[in-house]
Amino acid sequence: FPFPEKFAQRLAGKTITALGRRAKYLTMDLEGGPALICHLGMSGSFRIETADGSDMPGIFRHDRSKSSNHDHVVFHVVSPAGTRSRVIFNDPRRFGFMLFAEGLPDVHPMLAGLGVEPTGNTLDGALLSSLMKGRRSPLKAALLDQRLIAGLGNIYVSEALWRAGLSPLREAGTIARPGKKAQAQSEHLAQAIRSVISDAIAAGGSSLRDYMQTDGSLGYFQHAFAVYDREGEACSKPSCGGHIERIVQSGRSTFYCRTCQR
């Protein structure tokens, strides 16, 4: 993706007043406008270094994080205390992008149509039920629809469905039917979504190929996967006795246990 015209000139000398996130987008509010909207794409990352090039890596890190071959943007920033550092945008596959929003970022066309955030207390069983009501698409596909719930991805949907004991193949609308059973299913799934994301954040994310933290260190949540990339392994739920299977839905891998996920 090309960068906006006069990209550097429009940023030079600006004060960053707030940093935020909406779904998979990062937002940067600038004093006097405009706001900057960033998306990492498939392989993008931000690396933070001090002015002399040093950083604070974790125990494990990607060697790629030190390569400048795919460093496309370098922000030179100065803190209120006068500390100088660099924020480096690295993107080998060039699917990431940055653009300006003249008004509030949330009303920009890229963000305006996004659904509810999966974190916090907003997404509860009642709201999830209303979002799924009448939908005949597979439950996993509905959960990945960014117009309904913003920010959920393939890994965490698979993990949440396993925790909730729900099959990715069942119709989404089945958890929105009248009755206590469907009500319990939607509430359990909402709790599972929140807990999976919370656990992943606490573990620093999931490092499979390109993901790392801003200091170059890797996340650890991949070691806690119950189903994702566990094809053929025994299900870890007590007394289940099933095995993890891999299927393809809409061109993407889905991992689940058909024994305990109904």
pLDDT at residue 13, as a whole number: 95
176 in the same domain as 70 = no
pLDDT at residue 204, as a whole number: 61
CB contact at 8 A, 46 and 88: yes
100 in the same domain as 137 = no
Domain that holds residue 38: 7-112
Buried b (16+ CB within 10 A) or exposed e, 80-102: eeeeebbbbbbbbeeebbbbbbe
pLDDT band of residue 115 (cuts 50, 70, 90) is very high
CB contact at 8 A, 162 and 261: yes
Domain boundary among 112, 142, 171: 112
96 in the same domain as 69 = yes
Give the tens place of pLDDT for each residue, 52-66. 766 544 433 444 445
Would you say residue 18 lies in a domain?
yes
Total domains, the chain:
2
Higher per-residue pLDDT: 207 or 170: 170
79 in the same domain as 141 = no
Query: In this structure, what CATH number is given to the domain that contains residue 166?
Result: 1.10.8.50
64 in the same domain as 88 = yes
Would you say residue 120 lies in a domain?
no
pLDDT at residue 54, as a whole number: 63
Contacts of 177 (CB under 8 A, 6+ apart): none
Would you say residue 2 lies in a domain?
no
Would you say residue 182 lies in a domain?
yes
pLDDT at residue 208, as a whole number: 44
152 in the same domain as 75 = no
183 in the same domain as 207 = yes
How far is it, in rounded angstroms, from Cα 253 to Cα 158?
A: 9
91 in the same domain as 66 = yes
Q: For residue 174, what are its two tokens?
A: 């089945």
Domain boundary among 112, 144, 159: 112
248 in the same domain as 144 = yes
pLDDT band of residue 211 (cuts 50, 70, 90) is very low
218 in the same domain as 140 = yes
Would you say residue 153 lies in a domain?
yes
The length of the chain is: 262
CB contact at 8 A, 94 and 254: no
134 in the same domain as 108 = no
149 in the same domain as 253 = yes
Domain boundary among 63, 81, 112: 112
Would you say residue 101 lies in a domain?
yes
| Overall pTM > 0.85 | no
Query: In this structure, what CATH number is given to the domain that contains residue 22?
Result: 3.20.190.10
- pLDDT above 90: residue 213: no
Would you say residue 133 lies in a domain?
yes
Would you say residue 117 lies in a domain?
no
